[in-house]
A and B are shown apart, each in its own frame.
Chain A
Amino acid sequence: MDKTQNNKAWFLVLPVLVLVAFSAVLPLMTVVNYAFNDTFGNNQFFWTGLEWFEDMVTSDRLHNALGRQILFSAVILAIQVPLGIFIALNMPKSGFWASLVLILMALPLLIPFNVVGTIWQIFGRVDIGLLGHTLAAMGIDYNYTNDPLDAWITVVVMDVWHWTSLVALLCYAGLQSIPQAYYQAAKIDQATRWSVFRYIELPKMKGVLLIAILLRFMDSFMIYTEPFVVTGGGPGNSTTFLSIDLAKMATGQFDLGPAAAFSLMYFCVILLISWVFYTVMTNLDREENR
């Protein structure tokens, strides 16, 4: 290929690079700085090497937060993915109702995170909340501020309410791309409803479904605002997920060193998982186009 090599083009990227450097790379470097040093203020730093990392890797507190985090992500994926597919399969395919349902489904996605948290915080309150008060009136002992299980249920239901639409809408888009002839052929072949799902709908949804799972995993693994507004990580530490724990450590206790080490490891984990997902997805694509 006789392509003209012209490295001057790199200059066009320069402004963006400078911006990103100031907004992301340099702040990240200060985090790196904190992770390997100890400081008592006045810009005095003492080299600590990997001490903070060792502390964090062996910390029970972090292990517990990680455990809760994995459980939370697993639970919401286990609910949102099947539920999203189920909703997508049952959404109207065209006409007025299709538009209406699409708008209704999109609404939760448009609400800012802290507003979602506030909505559910009030909704679930036993004294004034519609949900909490109704449950109390029915004689159900529900109180997300006292009972860890109730707190978990509230946070999970809130996340399902907030994000299932995303999975459903992505799957719906996948389903819409299936030509009518496929369903007709399946009828002619006397395929069962399950076969239609297994051999027609699921293969066509696979690509978007993987993206949905990736997005939902990333988002849930980094979740902070909503549970923080509702439960503040409580009762006790029962809904303290990784981000909440990190924020507590860094801005609550001012343990900048451990928090910096923690956030670097957190960042690497998320990067690693995203990379694995990306690789799996591109491999599937390649297989598809083989």
Chain B
Amino acid sequence: MSRITLSNLAHSYLTNPKSDADFALKEMDHVWDDGGAYALLGASGCGKTTLLNIISGLVRPSQGRVLFGDRDVTDAETTARNIAQVFQFPVVYDTMTVRQNLAFPLRNRGMDPAYIARRIDQIAAMIGMEAMLDKKARGLTADAKQKISLGRGMVREDVNAILFDEPLTVIDPHMKWELRTQLKSLHREFGHTMIYVTHDQTEALTFADKVVVMHDGRVVQMGTPEELFETPAHTFVGYFIGSPGMNLFEAEVSGSEARLGGVSVPLGAAYAPTTGRVQIGIRPEYVTVSDEGMPVTVKRVEDVGRHRILRAELGGQPLNAILGEGMSIPADPRVAFAPDRVNVYANDWRVAPVDIRAGG
């Protein structure tokens, strides 16, 4: 087990990348702590899988280094890195039994047969396949096959990291929950570094201690679920995390006040003058609907069970707000933002406030 350092890393699938757009992964520097549970979250095609394959050595980066601990493994083969990886679609060796499948990574490394037998029993119990150990893998269902893949990924105890590439896509919803919980407890028990790629925010937020949000080949934020929710570093994070995502409005910010189409919105802190495209962002959870504040035009109300979502327009820009239990919408609906929950963005990146006022 070791810390994983990505230094000055970038990757392009073209041989002669010319512009920034040719890079599937833009230049990045990141350190993944030993024993951390990370989730790599982002939309399809944002470079998550590329990054994962670079860590496991299936793809060699066009530039930069990959370090495991202090060892430079940039040029090391996958086999030399001692990494486990589980893929999106089940990969099983059809002609082998479930037991042989699970034993395969251990047998290839010449482990002791008694140890292998013991370890297989543990893993089989974990993925709930004790009864099927001697069945051929060929005839099994897709989710049983994927459980075998997961089992094969976890069967080695000494791996540097376990990488999961959207492993639960083909699994039934109720089983998904169960497996994710098991992965989490496994992580607590053995302390492997785990990197879990997904485009499902619930999956990412429940699995990981730290979520790494990727957008367009960049890591835009690495933080705890709470940080991603409260202070998204990039408008993409605001939009991607949360349901519905953060509301964003073009605004002018001066000091601790934002002007939104002629209306003044108080901010929780003061900001230095910024240039470029300035936006303010507020989570729908922190928008209060009452008969005071800024006037909005109601488009519709959606009932999602736990709460209702108000879809409206504020100064011609869309606004979502979460309505509390049993709340009615006034005849002349107006909204107010909780000042200390408002984030300010310049050219999509979050601007840090100058000072934080007491009491906010």
Contact = CB atoms under 8 A, between A and B. Distances in A.
A250 to B, nearest CB: 48
A193 to B, nearest CB: 12
Contacts of B85: 184-185, 188
A191 B108 contact: yes
B108 A190 contact: yes
Nearest to B83: A188
A189 interface: yes
Contacts of B104: 189, 191, 199
Interface string B164-186: 00000000000000000000000
A190 B105 contact: yes
B31 to A, nearest CB: 23
Contacts of A189: 104-105, 108, 152
A179 B165 CA distance: 15
B58 A184 contact: yes
Given A181-B88, A181-B89, A290-B139, A188 B56 contact: yes
B71 interface: no
Contacts of A188: 56, 78, 83-85, 105, 153
A146 B104 CA distance: 56
A192 interface: yes
Interface stretch (B92-100, B246-254, B316-324): B92-100
Given A185-B85, A185-B87, A288-B138, A192 B108 contact: yes
A199 B105 contact: no
A192 B110 CA distance: 12
Interface in A175-195: 179, 181-182, 184-185, 187-192, 195
Contacts of A290: 138-139
Nearest to A192: B108
A200 B88 contact: no
Given A181-B87, A187-B79, A189-B152, A200 B93 contact: yes
A203 interface: yes
Contacts of B94: 199, 203
Interface residues of B, number: 27
A221 B93 CA distance: 36
Nearest to B139: A290
Contacts of B84: 188
A47 to B, nearest CB: 57
Interface in B124-165: 138-139, 149, 152-153
B327 to A, nearest CB: 49
Interface in B272-323: none
Contacts of A181: 87-89, 91
Nearest to A179: B89
B18 interface: no
Nearest to B80: A190
A200 B95 CA distance: 9
B91 A190 contact: no
Given A179-B89, A187-B78, A188-B56, A199 B83 contact: no
Interface size class of A (residues with CB under 8 A): 10 to 19
Interface in B57-113: 57-58, 77-79, 83-85, 87-89, 91, 93-96, 104-105, 108-109
B90 to A, nearest CB: 9
Contacts of A179: 89, 91
Contacts of B93: 199-200, 203
A226 B180 CA distance: 64
A203 B88 contact: no
B96 A199 contact: yes
Nearest to B110: A190
Nearest to B136: A290
Nearest to A202: B95
B146 to A, nearest CB: 12
B91 A185 contact: yes
Given A179-B89, A184-B87, A188-B56, A199 B108 contact: no
A222 B230 CA distance: 78
B165 to A, nearest CB: 9
Contacts of A199: 93-96, 104
Contacts of B53: 184
A181 B58 CA distance: 10
A187 B79 CA distance: 6
A288 B94 CA distance: 9
Residue with the highest number of chain B CB atoms closer than 10 Å, among A181, A182, A191, A195: A181
A202 B84 CA distance: 24
Contacts of A288: 138
Interface in A156-192: 179, 181-182, 184-185, 187-192
Contact of B95 (A187, A192, A203): A203
A288 B139 CA distance: 7
Contacts of A187: 57-58, 77-79
Contacts of A182: 91
Nearest to B53: A184
A271 B53 CA distance: 52
Contacts of B153: 188
Interface of B: 53, 56-58, 77-79, 83-85, 87-89, 91, 93-96, 104-105, 108-109, 138-139, 149, 152-153
11 contacts: A181-B88, A184-B53, A184-B78, A184-B87, A187-B79, A188-B78, A188-B85, A189-B105, A190-B108, A199-B95, A203-B93
4 smallest CB-CB distances across A and B, nearest first, come from A185-B91, A189-B105, A187-B78, A190-B108
